[in-house]
Structure 1
Amino acid sequence: MIGGGPAGLSAALNLARARRTTHVLDSNRPRNAATFAAHGFVTRDGIPPLELRRLGREELEAYPEASFEKAVVTSVTREADGFVVAYGATSITTRTIVITTGLTEKFPALPSLRQFYGTTVHSCVECDAYEYADKPIALIGETDDLAERAILISQWSRDLIVFTNGIGLIGEADEARLAERGIRVDRRQVADVTGDRSGLTGVTLADGETVPRVAAFVRPVYAPNLAYVDSLGLEADADGYLVVDGGGRTSVPGVYAAGDSTAPGPQQLIVAAGAGAKLAAALNRDLLA
């Protein structure tokens, strides 16, 4: 199991309960580490993401069939009896590989963005918009799906300004749709986000104006973190996400994947955990065959 987030831990737990020997390798550097609270996970709403992972590891390691190791996997190669997974100066051989590593994020180049990321600047609308209902919000991005994201955010607040940084694409028809909801589009270049110890207070533009906002959603450019499996020749889509079937099977027999490394969808922890459980059920049955 490569990756110890919700997808990986869920898959590992279910495989251990199926009496499958399972070893989890994880770098313990999740991209949501800066977030104070994760939402939408039943019985754990508001839990810090790192605490959720700790609890998952604790539950998993109670099973003699399972083990966890902090490690960065550098390569996976095929051999006659399965796969060799290399990490550090160590390697292990296994019959099956489960890929549950996440994504890398590229944000607009704003000097102070990371200072507020995870507190009053977020990327997941479904995860964090509820806390800013009816408050002044910014959407900052450079992609061509900003109108779609803005309409989604308007479900929580219509006091919303979309900042394209002079790069993001919003056509006239989409801008009219946004205007019907009271959403403004600002195409000026963004210099930075500003705030204080209480959090974000505004978006500063290159012309010197600071537009007051109490929170912002940023639209990153995502890329799957999969260089370590390049030698396997796994089928991927045009954006680099692994192609899997309903059971998490990739194009290479014995290799499974779930979570953010597969086709993108709602990036919620509970969705990833569910995908991991589905994968475990399929993998267990495949091993029986």
Structure 2
Amino acid sequence: METEYDVVVVGGGAAGLSGALALSRARRSVLVVDGGAPRNAPAAHAHNYLGREGTPPLELLAIGRGEVAGYGGEFTEGEATSATPVEGGFEVRLADGRSVRGRRLLVTTGLVDELPDVPGVRELWGSAVLHCPYCHGWEVRDQAIGVLATSPMSVHQALMWRQWSEDVTLFLHAQAEPTDEEWEQLAARGVSVVVGTVAAVESDGDRLTGVRLASGQVVPRDALVVAPTFTARSALLESLGLPVEPLEVMGHVVGSAVPSTPVGSTDVPGVWVAGNVTDLMAQVIGAAAAGLKAGAGLNGDLIAEDTRRAVAARRATTARLVFSPASERELCDQVLGDRRHGI
């Protein structure tokens, strides 16, 4: 690796690779630091990515890494734990003791899905236990779908998933009963409601078979929808003094994120973010678009700095060529003397 890069990208998911691609094509020196734990690794396929619909997530990332490398971008495996401002940029420290430097940082560390503490949920996460209908709804269409109520938004979830199947059951679990208006909505859409605490999710290997209640009753289901808490992977950004703020949807806190401008710049000059670390709801294609936008913004920021440096260097050179008044008089006397002598 080089000793210093124009941009160090922390995170090698869709946002990070897209930003690295834009920067590498802009002839910037780029290093991508990747811990190798993409959020969507448990999923079999990535969806709604135009031109790459249904591509396995790890295959999509491998394609992206090849494209970045093709324009000179570099990679190193490791977990970036913190960053410190230094002269000319930032120093990023890795868990194994190494450090790298960049004039700018693009942080695309994503988020962690904090799952409900119900036995069986984690084991089937990303295959039969789901949360996003746009990511997985088509794959479980017309199947028996359960919705585990773990937040005040669970009724909204059940009504959404009803678009993909006529057989949807809402398990109230530990949540309060729906309001009168919500009961009417559920009934109108044909969503069944089961009252009682869910004890576990049952499966046959990697296939979900049912939802077991604390009473011992098992309700057969083919898929279960949960509502994770979306927690930004923000340790590196917090080490730079950037805050993490709660994110509300429909009046309910669903997770935390690091705020940024629409192009990805943060309150710390030189530090940019993209993807789920700042936009919890971004799907793969949205994260990639945000990475491109941040990459272009970063390059523009670097161009402005390069221009300031060039102007300062030009002024310094020009200043050395300017004569003092005494020198100008001496030169004039010399020129006049030369003319008098016909030189």
Alignment partner for residue 105 of structure 1, among 100, 113, 119? Answer: 113
1:257 lines up with 2:265 in the alignment: no
Map residues 134-145 of structure 1 onto 2, 5 A cutoff. Answer: 134-145=142-153
Cα distance per residue 1:64-90 (max 9 Å; x no partner): 2x1011110111111232111000211
> Which stretch shows the higher mean deviation, 159-168 or 3-12?
159-168
More displaced stretch, 190-199 vs 16-25: 190-199
Structure 1 counterpart of 2:341: none
- Cα distance per residue 1:180-217 (max 9 Å; x no partner): 11112323111111121461111111101111111112
- 1:22-59 Cα offsets, whole Å, 9 max, x none, are 10011111222111111111222222111111111111
Q: Which residue of 2 aligns with 1:73?
A: 80
Q: Aligned-pair distance for 1:19? A: 0.7
* Corresponding residue of 1:131: 139
Output the amino acid matched with 1:207. S
Return 5+ residue gaps in structure 1 as ranges.
Answer: none
RMSD: 1.6
In structure 2, relative to structure 1, the CA distance for the partners of 1:260 and 1:141 (3 Å cut) is farther
Q: 1:185 aligns with which of 188, 193, 197?
A: 193
Q: Is the 8 A contact 1:146 1:168 kept in 2?
A: no
Question: Which amino acid in 1 is paired with 2:297?
Answer: A
Matches within 5 A, 1:200-215: 200-215=208-223
How far apart in 2 are the matches of 1:35 and 1:257? Answer: 24
More deviation, 73-82/236-245: 236-245
Tell me, in whole angstroms, the C-alpha distance in 2 between the residues paired with 1:102 and 1:168. Answer: 31
1:29 matched to 2:37: yes
SS in 1 for 2:208: strand
Point out which structure has higher relative CO (alpha carbons under 8 A, 6+ apart).
1
| Deviation larger for 168-177 or 71-80 | 168-177
Of 88, 92, 100, which residue of structure 2 is paired with 1:92? 100
| Residue of structure 2 equivalent to 1:245 | 261
Q: Which residue of 1 aligns with 2:297?
A: 282
- Give the residue type in structure 1 aligned to 2:298: L
**What's 2:331 paired with?**
none
CA distance in 2, matches of 1:218, 1:176: 22
Q: CA deviation at 1:247?
A: 0.9
Q: Partner residue of 1:49?
A: 57
| Structure 1 residues 238 and 219: alpha-carbon distance in aligned structure 2, compared to 1, 3 A threshold | closer
Change (3 A) 1:201 1:3: same
Equivalent pair of 1:141/1:220 in contact (CA under 8 Å): no
The secondary structure found in structure 1 opposite 2:245 is: coil
The structure whose Rg is larger is: 2
Give the TM-score, by structure 2 length: 0.80
Shift of 1:169: 6.8
For residue 15 of structure 2, give the secondary structure of its aligned residue in structure 1: helix
Are 1:113 and 1:193, in contact at CA under 8 Å, matched by a contact in 2? Answer: yes
One-letter identity of the residue aligned with 1:280: G
- TM-score calculated relative to the size of structure 1: 0.94
Cα distance in 2 for partners of 1:283, 1:169 equals 49
Cα distance in 1 for residues equivalent to 2:164 and 2:25: 40
Counterpart pick for 2:288 among 244, 266, 273 = 273
Q: Partner residue of 2:251?
A: none
Farther-moved stretch of structure 1 (28-37 vs 190-199):
190-199
Identity of aligned residues (%): 39
What is the distance in 1 between the residues matched to 2:167 and 2:118? 22
AA in 2 matched with 1:254: G
What 5-or-longer segments of structure 2 have no aligned partner?
A: 1-8, 248-255, 305-343
Structure 1 residues 30 and 170, CA gap change in structure 2 (3 angstroms):
farther
Alignment correspondent of 1:83: 90
